[in-house]
A and B are shown apart, each in its own frame.
Chain A
Amino acid sequence: MIQVADLNDTVTIQISGRFDFRLIKDFQQLLSKSPRTWVVDFTGVDYVDSSALGMLLLLRERVHGDAQRVLLRGLHGQPRDVLVMAKFDRMFKVE
């Protein structure tokens, strides 16, 4: 499940449960937005697959690779392990 809050030029994407290929269409709709900053909240995420990481890369492309404009928040467990292994902690701002 995905919830979106658009406030003060910041779009916050709050995901709960599995962050996988089933969210691609939701993400497609989000990509039409162009805020200054994106926040992806992983607090409620317990699983990610490679498509989730692919979607994050697309988000990164939207901000022209500016790591400061995409913030990953609340990483823990399997999502944290996968993202660290893929070295996403060097490509995104992690809180």
Chain B
Amino acid sequence: MHEHGALAAWIDSALTRVLADLTRARAILADAMTRLFATFSTLRDQLAEERRLYEITLQQVNGSGEGGEGGLVSVLREVLSRFVQDMVQISASSVKIMLEVEALRGHTDNVAQRGKQIEQIAITTRMLSLNARIEAQRIGSAGAVFRVVADEIKGLAHQSGELSKTIRDALATQSQSLAKASTAVSKLASADLDHAVASHRHLDLTIAKLAEMSASSLAILARIQAEADSAIQALQFEDMLTQLLHAITDKLQVVQTACRTGKIDELDARIQRDAVSQHSLGAGGVELF
């Protein structure tokens, strides 16, 4: 009897300690669950926000609709295309100017050719005036007037020849300037468009890679989000665990009471009661918060 009393006292003391440990375990579990729930909720919200921002960014890059209107990609394509079109317009105008300059050069050369003919006429005229002067000299005083006229014609032929030479020199300078202008304009007309085409190709490749990476990144984000949802769902079973721990506490208290009073009949129903019918997380669902 004495031994029974000692055992009952020992069990009572042990149950008191176990109940105290259970109370602490429940408090620690409740605290851990609250923190885990808050952390996973924040993670889920941040993932959702990240996904939303990612989709907005992608929309801004690719544009909306099938044609991708308004997107960065479409704008870049348009800028490149406009650049090439502007270059072509400049080239077309430059080609026109070049053709005009070449035509002007042709005219200048023609005028220079006429100048040479004028110079030839001046030389012939000078020869004629020289002959006239010789003839005037030969007929003596009667030819004095002709001599004066011959001298005047010689002077005019000389002036005409000089003027023609000046014009020819000016035209030669002009022709050289036009040749330089033609070369300069031809450089303006001729632009290499390979760089623009290469940029366009590079842009297409980048877009394809970006699309591939975007799809992959969005899939990863979706998977992480699903995992976070699953974790939150699992955490919501904390309530079931808490009920179970309450039930264990209650049953241990019943055992302690039975040990103290020695009566078990009226306490047996409390021991037999199931606190939670579910046996695993997968066996039932819990509404998400």
Contacts and interface: CB of A to CB of B under 8 A. Distances in A.
Contacts of A87: 81, 85
A58 B96 CA distance: 8
Contacts of A85: 80-81, 84, 193, 196-197, 200
A82 interface: yes
A90 B234 CA distance: 61
Contacts of B129: none
Contacts of B191: 49-51
Interface stretch (A5-13, A18-26, A35-43): A18-26
B18 interface: no
A50 B189 contact: yes
A81 interface: yes
A20 B92 CA distance: 12
B193 A58 contact: no
Nearest to B182: A24
Interface string B138-171: 0000000000000000000000000000000000
A54 B81 contact: no
B87 interface: yes
Nearest to A53: B88
A67 interface: no
B102 interface: yes
Given A50-B190, A58-B95, 6 more contacts: A21-B95, A21-B190, A27-B95, A31-B99, A58-B96, A85-B193
